[in-house]
Every structure is written in C-alpha cells, then in structure tokens.
Amino acid sequence: METNSMITVAMETEDEVPEPGQLSNDSATCIVSVKGLKDNWQKWSSEHQEYQKNNPFSHDSRLSVLVPQRGQDDYGRPLQGSRTEQRGKDAHTHISREVQELCEVIKTIGEPRDIIVTGSRNTGKVTSVTFGKLFEHYVTVSNKLVGILLRARKQGLVEFEGEMLWQRKDDHVVITLVQ
C-alpha cells in the first residue's frame, strides 16, 4: 500500500463545490475556499489598518489617537493596561525588592554608629559599612551592587560620597544606611 503525500487543493467559488467522488481517495485532501482566503485576508488587512491608526510610529497621517504632549500626565508612559505597562510594574517591584535586600545586608554586616549623617536630618544611631566589605559580601547575592546602591541613594535610603563606586579604588568609602 503506497501513501501519497500530495495535497489536492480544490478551488471553489460560492456555487462550485466539488463532489466527494471527484477527488482521489488515496491522496491527502485539503479543500481551501478562495472566498475563505479572501475573507481571512480582508479581516487581517482591516485589523492591521486599525492598528496602524493607533501606532504613533506609523506613516499613516490619519492617526485616531491623540499623542500626549510634553507636560501632560501620561506623556512618556505606556498605554494603561498594555503589556509594556505591566513589564514596567514588574521591573519596579523587582528593583524595590533588591533595594530592600541591600538594606537588610547592610544592617546585618554593618556596624552601628552614633553620628550625624551629612546631608540629612537624622541623628543618633546609623549603620555603616565600607564599600569593599559590602562588595565582598554582596557579590554572592547579586552582581548589580553599584546600580542598586545608586537606586537606594536616589530613594534616600543610603548615603555615600562620590557619584560612582569602583571596586578596589573606592573600597574605603563608607556607605551609611539612613533609614
């Protein structure tokens, strides 16, 4: 018994439907309607045109969505409910967790001191650690220590001198946990 892998395509119009006996029984049969193909293509084309109307990077001059202008609340933000907005929220949550973890590590390995923290209003007990000691300990936790430190400083959780910290060069820099 021989199998034939040839696919027979029967093209039909609305009125012409092939009889079952007209097609070979020993070949795999795939009936494709020209009208069905045309309808599928038209549906895709309509959806794509609608998408392009909302796409700010499209060359379509008939944009149906008002693009936010500078100074408006939603300028530079993804559309609400979009996957881009969800990815941004997930990234923010992840970074916030890493900042909290960094603060816990500083509390654990740092030394409590009675000082006035420069640049802030906090006085009393604070926890401090040198960058070298923190780097040696934190390298097993994450490879993004400097970026997390910069984010924590931006949030007002830690203080240290300098714009950027470099391994070995800035090992003596004191990092102070403010809160």
Q: Write the pLDDT tens digit of every residue in 63-109.
A: 555 667 788 887 888 878 889 999 999 999 999 999 999 999 999 99
Give the tens place of pLDDT for each residue, 134-150. 998 887 667 788 899 99
Q: What type of residue sits at position 118?
A: T
Instruction: Give 120's DSSP letter.
Output: S
pLDDT at 90: 95
**76's torsion region: left (phi>0), alpha (psi -120 to 50) or beta?**
left
Eight-state DSSP code of residue 14: S
CA 17 to chain centre: 50
Position 20 scores a pLDDT of 53
- What pLDDT, on the 0 to 100 scale, is given for residue 19? 56
* Per-residue pLDDT at 35 exceeds 60: yes
Packed helices 131-138 and 145-154: angle between N→C axes, nearest 10 degrees: 120
Please answer whether residues 149 and 105 qualify as being in contact, where contact means their C-beta atoms are separated by less than 8 angstroms: no
| For the ranges 31-35, 53-57, 161-165, the one whose mean pLDDT is highest | 161-165
pLDDT of the residue at 23: 52
Give the C-alpha separation, 52 to 48, whole Å.
6
Q: What pLDDT was estimated at residue 27? A: 47
Higher pLDDT: 118 or 148? It is 148
* Strand-strand pairing, 111-114 and 125-130: antiparallel
Spell out the domains of the chain, with CATH numbers in brackets.
Answer: 4-54 (no CATH), 94-177 (1.10.10.1540)
Confidence grade of residue 168 (pLDDT, cut at 50, 70, 90): confident
Hey, what amino acid is at 106? I
Q: Tell me, what's the pLDDT at 167?
A: 85
- pLDDT score at 87: 95
The answer to whether the CB of 173 falls within 8 A of the CB of 130 is yes
CA dist., res. 168 & res. 56, Å (int): 47
Strand order in the sheet with 174-177: 111-114, 125-130, 174-177, 158-159
Top mean-pLDDT range of 13-22, 54-63, 84-93: 84-93
